[in-house]
Amino acid sequence: MFFPSSKLPQEYGGLGVRQLKEFNLALLGGRGSSWWREIAKIRDGVGGLGSGWFRESVVKRVGNGAETFFWTDPWGRCVGLAETFVGVGGGDVEGVSDLTFELFFSVTLGEAETLIWHKQVPLKVSICAWQLLRDRLPTRKNLVSRGIISPEAHFCVSGCGGIESTQNLFFTCGTFGSLWSVVRFWIGFSSVDHQNPPGHFLQFVSALGERRARRSFMQLIWLACVWVLWNERNNRLFINIAQTVPQMLDKVKLFSLWWLKTANVTLVVN
C-alpha cells in the first residue's frame, strides 16, 4: 500500500521511509514487530483500537491483477476466500456460487452507478435509473414484498404472465424487453442482453467501443430506454394507454434528440 507522504521526512509529516518496497517486505517477514502488530490492530479494530476504520476507509483496486490474490485477499466479507471456503477441490464449497454473484454484482453496481449521472440527461431520469440498478423501483414484486398490494396482483402489466420484477419489466418481458432488440437494430449492433441491470448497462454502454464520445452516447440511449419503459408501464397501469414497441422506439429517439440538442451538442456519426 502506498500513501503519497510515505517517503517524506518525519519532520514534514511523512513516515521517513525511503525504500518503501523493501520496508514493506521487512515488515511482512518480521511479523514479530511490535510496531507492525499495533498497525494491524488499528486496521482490524482489535481491542477497540480504531473500530475498523482503516479497513472501512481503504479501497483496493484490482487493476491488472498483478498484485491481487484471489484466495487470500479480503473481499466482500472482509476475509479471504481460502478462510471462508475450506477444502476447495474436495471439501465444503457450499455458497461459492452465491458469493461469486455477490462479488460480481457489487463490482458492476459500483461501476454502473458512476455512469448513470449523465450531464445531458434530466436528473429525474438518472434517479429512475439509480432506483432500477438498486431494485428500488415500485414494481409489483417490490410492492408485494412491502405488503402494499396482495400477492395475486404481482403480474406484469403487459399481460406476459410473468411476475413484474425489475428483470421482467425491463429485460425479459416479451413486450417491454423487446425494445432493446429494436434499439440495437436502429443503432447498428447486435448482442445478447444481460439480465442483471448493472451488467446490462455496462454491456450496452461499451457495445460500440471504448471511445469517450461513443460511450457517452450509449449511456444516454440506455437512460432514454429505461425512462420510456418505466413511463410506458405507468401509462398502462394508471391511465390504460398502451403503445407498441415501434412507438416506444420513436420515443427513445425523440428523448435522446431533445437531450442532445438541449446541451447544444453536434452529433457526428463515424
Task: Let me know if residue 29 belongs to a domain.
Answer: no
Task: Let me know if residue 209 belongs to a domain.
Answer: yes
pLDDT one-digit tens code per residue, 224-270: 999 999 999 999 999 999 999 999 999 999 999 999 887 655 554 44
Mention every residue, 6+ apart, whose C-beta is less than 8 A from residue 198: 105, 108, 109, 111, 112, 113, 133
- What distances in angstroms separate CA 46 from CA 34, 35, 42, one per listed residue? 14, 14, 7
- The structural domain count of the chain equals 1
Domain interval for residue 147: 120-259
The pLDDT assigned to 7 comes to: 55
- What distances in angstroms separate CA 160 from CA 48, 155, 173, 226, one per listed residue? 55, 8, 6, 19
Q: Is 155 helix (H, G, I), strand (E, B) or coil?
A: strand
Task: Let me know if residue 212 belongs to a domain.
Answer: yes
Q: 249 and 183 in contact (C-beta within 8 Å)?
A: yes
pLDDT one-digit tens code per residue, 162-203: 999 999 999 999 999 999 999 999 999 887 777 788 888 888
Task: Let me know if residue 221 belongs to a domain.
Answer: yes
Task: Let me know if residue 92 belongs to a domain.
Answer: no
Most confident stretch, 81-85, 86-90, 253-257? 253-257
Tell me the CB-side half-sphere exposure of residue 57, using CA atoms within 13 A.
9
Task: Let me know if residue 228 belongs to a domain.
Answer: yes
pLDDT one-digit tens code per residue, 130-154: 999 889 999 999 999 999 999 999 9
14-23, 57-66, 97-106: range with lowest mean pLDDT: 97-106
